């Protein structure tokens, strides 16, 4: 295994351990993947992240075929493959059962434009994909349908949330943002109905987000 691949595998392990440490996902829940060669690298199923080694990370072909001699991939490998195939701009997928996002997902509710930062996920809201059994093609189809139209993240009804990014660190950061927005939304809702931003304002915000965080290069 070349150093570059070993580093990529270790990065998956490090981010999954960070999920546990931050509370984004506890114990063995949650999973992550990154685009790799003509397929992807993904966390294995049923393994504690604090015990994972780079050799334990599973390589899958783009069609989901798992070459022999490896651990079994995450039970959610299906939507990891399908997301990376459907959205070329995504290079990583992070799936977690974060507390507040999952609470909203268990109500079957999306996160509306109560705060302009919902635009960080690529749209004027953060949608909630309809429920389907974990690990199934039906769940993958539900997620893909919810994310079409430029969304980079969604809630998963009665399940959790999934976020994507141009890199693993970007996908992880988005998962943190989605959880924070879900927490803020639930807190605001406990005080009364939220005053959601109108579509025309969210259109302005989304345009501004195209250059959000960018720095001008020195001349």
Predicted local distance difference test score (pLDDT) of residue 174? 98
Q: pTM for this structure?
A: 0.94
Predicted local distance difference test score (pLDDT) of residue 26? 83
Predicted local distance difference test score (pLDDT) of residue 29? 85
Predicted local distance difference test score (pLDDT) of residue 214? 63
* Structural domains of the chain sorted by starting position, each given as residue range(s) with its CATH number in brackets: 3-209 (3.40.225.10)
Predicted local distance difference test score (pLDDT) of residue 98? 97
Tell me which residues are annotated as active site.
Answer: 76
Predicted local distance difference test score (pLDDT) of residue 27? 81
Residues in the chain predicted with pLDDT less than 50, given as ranges, are none
Q: Rounded CA gap, 42 and 146, in Å?
A: 22
CA 141 to each of CA 75, 120, 174, 214: distance values in angstroms, whole numbers, following the listed order: 15, 23, 21, 33
Predicted local distance difference test score (pLDDT) of residue 46? 86
CA 163 to each of CA 29, 46, 151, 168: distance values in angstroms, whole numbers, following the listed order: 15, 21, 9, 10
The pLDDT tens digits of the residues spanning 158-201 come to: 999 999 999 999 999 999 999 999 999 999 999 999 999 999 99
Predicted local distance difference test score (pLDDT) of residue 61? 97
- Residue whose pair of structure tokens reads 């943002």 in the numeric block: 177
């Amino acid at each position: 295994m070349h150093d570059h691949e070993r580093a990529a595998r270790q990065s998956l392990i490090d981010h999954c351990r960070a999920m546990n440490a931050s509370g984004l996902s506890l114990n063995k829940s949650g999973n992550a993947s990154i685009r790799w060669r003509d397929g992807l690298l993904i966390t294995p199923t049923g393994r504690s992240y604090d015990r994972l080694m780079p050799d334990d990370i599973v390589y899958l072909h783009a069609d989901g075929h798992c070459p022999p001699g490896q651990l079994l991939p995450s039970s959610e490998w299906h939507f990891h493959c399908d997301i990376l195939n459907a959205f070329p701009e995504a290079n990583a997928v992070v799936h977690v059962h974060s507390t507040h996002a999952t609470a909203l997902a268990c109500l079957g509710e999306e996160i509306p434009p109560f705060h302009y930062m919902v635009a960080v996920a690529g749209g004027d809201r953060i949608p909630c994909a309809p429920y389907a059994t974990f690990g199934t093609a039906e769940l993958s189809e539900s997620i893909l349908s919810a994310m079409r139209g430029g969304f980079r993240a969604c809630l998963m009804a009665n399940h959790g949330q999934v976020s994507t990014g141009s890199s693993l660190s970007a996908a992880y950061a988005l998962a943190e943002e989605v959880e924070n927005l879900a927490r803020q939304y639930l807190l605001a809702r406990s005080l009364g109905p939220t005053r959601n931003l109108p579509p025309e304002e969210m259109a302005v915000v989304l345009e501004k987000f195209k250059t959000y965080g960018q720095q001008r290069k020195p001349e």
